[in-house]
Amino acid sequence: MNENEKENDYNVKLKFFGVPKLIPYIKPYIPMILFMAFLGVLGSFIDSVYPLFNRYALDNFVAGKTLKHLTGFIILYVLVVLLQVIINFVAGYFGGKVEMSVDRDLRNAAFNHLQELSFAYFNQNNVGYIHARVMSDTGKIGVMVAWRLMDIVWNGAYIVSVFVMMLILNVRMALYIIVLVPIAAVTVMFFQKKLIVLNRKIREINSKITSNFNEGITGAKAIKTLVVEDRIQKEFEEETLKYRKTSVYATHNSAFFASAITMLSTFALALVLWKGGAMTIEGVLQLGTLSVFLTYALEMMEPIQNVIVTFADLISVQVNVERFTKLMETESDVSDSPEVIEKYGDTFNPKKENWEPLYGDVEFKDVSFKYPDGDEMVLEHFNLKVPQGTNIAIVGETGAGKSTLVNLVCRFFKPTEGYVLIDGRDAAERSQLWLHSNIGYVLQTPHLFSGTVRDNLKYGKPDATDEEIMRALDIVSARSVVEKMPKGLDSDVGEDGDMLSTGEKQLLSFARAILADPRILVLDEATASIDTVTEKAIQDAIKTVTKGRTSFVIAHRLSTVVDADVILVVKDGKIIERGSHKELMDQKGYYYDLFTRQFEEMSISSVLEGET
């Protein structure tokens, strides 16, 4: 979250611009919400009626000194209590159902929408921000729809019912209490505004403390090797000191707020006792009626406070509503046209019966490209034909922009100008899912999902047999990795594969891609995390699996791409050289310098290892 967004979070005013955009998610539950509102009105009316039972008891059983109609009184009272219990239970049941249902629908919608967004969105928004949109914001909206609106209805109806009851019983006494309402409202609003700001500051500081705490654990090795324990400790102590001071100040304000409300309630009670007592002595007011006003005087301040606090919560939740709707209104930089969706289906409803086979011919036709968050062209009028089965290597130093071409082939980004053709047709004329289903992608940093080895490999091919899985493992020399695990294919890999080494995760990730039998294979520094012995085995495997497939190999280690059909040399995001290994070496240009420098470094490293 940027600083402007934080500032808006503190000072936002109540408005309802984002609420209509929630209607599609709330609409299925409107009957339940209306039923809850009805129960709220009925329940608040019963709450306001309870003091009337005391009035009847005092005027008839105490003052009248008779127990006549006592049985009927008890039965009626018990029935009213039972009705109130039923109302509370039913309202609570439906409130919980509405909250969880709206929460679920919002989260599903947000998560599904994220699946359809391009890489540009994830490049421009960090994980914590996106996570908060899907989990925190939706949760608060669910609470608002189910409970905050219910609170306003229940407390608002109670206040109205009490005012009506008091005016019916005695206008003069009613006005004594009603005159205190504006004072109570102003007091609540004053303190509530301060408490909202303080509580948000506390949450912000707490987030920083949590972040520092996580960094202290996950970065323990770096902290020790850099010898910055004292600096990290000082930063942590500074944040906890801020948290303590702000929390204590908020607690003081909260305590003063509670005392002010108690004082107002006590003042209202004293006023009723003073004026009502005199009227009772004069015979103008019955004792039972005085007890009703005493009860209302004590209880009136709490619902007034609740209504104002609830409105403050609505102001706070409004920020969450705006963030959620902003996410849902974010359009992907890369999306299928309505015509493509009509023919090929979308991400979640594919029409595979209309999918054509993909052969692997790729062509860049007058392609110019700049990243959505960038100003400079990375490619300008670039042309390249990649026939089916061609092995393209993309090389360059770290950060040179080697992934750009692959991102365009995979339609993770779309060309700023020109076209990327797949099998002679513009890639935009067919489904993204169709294309992605025919691409095997092995990342430099492998990712495994929580679950077993078998589960992870089947992401490549859901209906794969164990024989097919083992064959894929053999191709990438990964059978030994699985065989040494306690349960073989049924072994749990842990969260993000943390029960395996990086090299082992890379091997399984490679096997998963091979299992899918892709027509286009992308290897993004795929051997960077693997030892040299395994790397040699994988290089042999690559030669086997790339036959008949179009392959793009992004590599920093140039010794792994000498057999490529075409090598593209990237520097500062631009392709500055292209050709086979021999052709580029003969040119004695940038590639030649890179290769000879790496060769010398590897030779020196080998000598040093031999001496060791």
Q: How buried is 350 (Cβ within 10 angstroms: 0-12 exposed, 13-18 middle, 19+ buried)? A: middle
Rg (CA), the chain: 35
Q: How far apart are CA 218 and CA 232, in angstroms?
A: 13
Tokens 């100003």, residue located: 375
pLDDT at 62: 77
Residue 358's CB is within 10 A of a number of other CB atoms, namely 19
DSSP 274-301: HHHHHHHHTTSS-HHHHHHHHHHHHHSH
The alpha carbon of 606 is separated from its chain's Cα centroid by a whole number of angstroms, namely 48
Q: How far apart are CA 55 and CA 280, in angstroms?
A: 13
Q: What are phi and psi of 393, to 5 degrees?
A: -105, 140
Please say whether the beta carbons of 106 and 60 come within 8 A: no
pLDDT at 528: 65
Residue 227's region, left for phi above 0, alpha for psi from -120 to 50, else beta, is left
For 440, the 3-state DSSP assignment is strand
Please say whether the beta carbons of 276 and 247 come within 8 A: no
Q: How far apart are CA 127 and CA 134, in angstroms?
A: 11
Q: How buried is 175 (Cβ within 10 angstroms: 0-12 exposed, 13-18 middle, 19+ buried)? A: exposed
Outline where 348-409 has alpha helix (H): 404-409
Spans in the chain with pLDDT lower than 50: 1-12, 14, 606-612
pLDDT at 107: 92
Q: How buried is 14 (Cβ within 10 angstroms: 0-12 exposed, 13-18 middle, 19+ buried)? A: exposed
Q: How far apart are CA 110 and CA 121, in angstroms?
A: 14
Nearest C-alpha neighbor of 115 from the set 408, 432, 396: 432
pLDDT at 308: 74
Q: How far apart are CA 55 and CA 41, in angstroms?
A: 22
Sheet with 574-579: strands ordered across: 439-442, 520-524, 550-555, 391-395, 566-571, 574-579
Eight-class DSSP state of 56? H
pLDDT at 1: 43
Please say whether the beta carbons of 305 and 261 come within 8 A: yes
Q: Tell me: the pLDDT tens digits for 465-519?
A: 999 999 988 888 888 889 899 899 999 988 878 888 877 888 888 888 888 888 9
pLDDT at 609: 47
pLDDT at 18: 58
Q: In Å, what is the CA distance from 381 to each residue of 182, 386, 399, 422?
A: 71, 16, 22, 18
Please say whether the beta carbons of 440 and 509 come within 8 A: no
pLDDT at 537: 65
